A = this chain, B = another copy of it.
């Protein structure tokens, strides 16, 4: 990293606080001026792009629990120190490690053709390479109806609708069922393997990985493989022609015991209420197929850069701003649960929490779920950041991002700056999640929104604790 040049930049921040009539506003004029200066600075800054370039290039893919994720933590610590955070620490935790291993999958009947596939997280290995007849299921509902032993020795293929693309990402949850629980039905039916149409929206030939759901009895014994949408289309067409299908498959993915992971924590200590924490962040781990640029190098970069810009103000905001680079998000929010556990005695001091984990397209909406007084504050903040093209969304929208879920469960209030997700699931969890997919201007808009919003929250006089 050679980011020290950012330490020297200067902005015309307002250092004077005139007591005046306007000062009685929930966001003071001085705070608004500082927020606007932060936005302007952010829009002209490459800092976030340089951070995500550094992470994806110098660390690369960072599978949860891997040696690469450890290097990412070292990188995060060095970055935090270089960029002048007041306190930099790592909080470790233990987790089970799932290894993707190697995969061979191809069509063998009616002819040999490679299929572009990848194992789903938590899938089991095959003992050896095998050839199996494919049983076609139109969707997860058809697969769910399978009877015990009904497809013994065969490979189930579960098709499904193409993910509905939307600004909000609303199509992901419903489509995700075949990835999450498909294996439980296939295994009950006696299948030797499950092949799943990728949950992503990419029309390119990339499989979409992601974690399956554990059942009461544990994880899958069988290989579970997602194939790309064009490959799934191909099988669907052959099936419609009435062609018998066989696949050859060998997968070595498996669980490999406990390893260490950790969260990296970068603090800007508050000047007046240092004990009160405004938590922002992203997750440091990534799936291993791409280099984790949009998921979630971008989130790490956006929130770190926003905090760094705030740190250049003449005076620290009143509250502490904490950037958490969560570990092991992809495999079940393990870093998030570890954080909630490790800080359980101090969560009452977490006055608001939010994560950036939905790519790097422009932010278009600000939603919140905070107390009534703080809701007024968020309403005012929304007015200040509206020139960035951001609307005020619901004030009763729970959840600040995946890694905030364990905090929400403990009552921590949330806000969220919603990125436009129109092409997020084209890239998410695929080999195509690489740096070139990030638009530097849109990334800078994200930093502008985060910097202004988080500054105004952290410096507000409003009581954010219940």
Beta-carbon contact of A111 and B71 below 8 Å: yes
Q: Which residues of B contact A60 (CB under 8 A)?
A: 107, 111, 113
Q: Which of A51-72 contact B (CB under 8 A)?
A: 53, 56-61, 68, 71
**Copies, count:** 2
Q: Mark A407-450, 1 if CB is under 8 A from B, else 0.
A: 00000000000000000000000111011110000000000000
User: Which one, B68, B233, B237, B434, contacts A205 given CB within 8 A?
Assistant: B434
User: Which one, B57, B230, B238, contacts A234 given CB within 8 A?
Assistant: B57
Q: Which chain B residue has the least Cβ–Cβ distance from A61?
A: B113
Q: Which of A110-125 contact B (CB under 8 A)?
A: 110-114, 116
A280–B195 CA distance with the chains assembled, in angstroms: 41
Beta-carbon contact of B230 and A436 below 8 Å: yes
Q: Which residues of B contact A434 (CB under 8 A)?
A: 205, 230, 233-234
Beta-carbon contact of B111 and A68 below 8 Å: yes
Beta-carbon contact of B233 and A436 below 8 Å: yes
Q: Which residues of B contact A289 (CB under 8 A)?
A: 114
A291–B114 CA distance with the chains assembled, in angstroms: 10
A66, chain B: closest CB distance, angstroms: 9
> Measuring CB to CB, which residues of chain A are less than 8 angstroms from any residue of chain B?
53, 56-61, 68, 71, 107, 110-114, 116, 203-206, 229-230, 233-234, 237-238, 241, 243, 288-291, 430-432, 434-437
What are 28 inter-chain pairs, A to B, with CB distance below 8 A? Answer: A53-B237, A57-B234, A57-B238, A57-B241, A58-B238, A60-B111, A61-B113, A68-B111, A68-B112, A113-B291, A114-B288, A114-B289, A116-B431, A203-B437, A204-B204, A204-B206, A205-B206, A205-B290, A205-B430, A205-B432, A229-B436, A230-B432, A230-B436, A233-B435, A233-B436, A234-B291, A234-B434, A237-B435
3 closest A-B pairs by CB: A230-B434, A60-B113, A57-B237
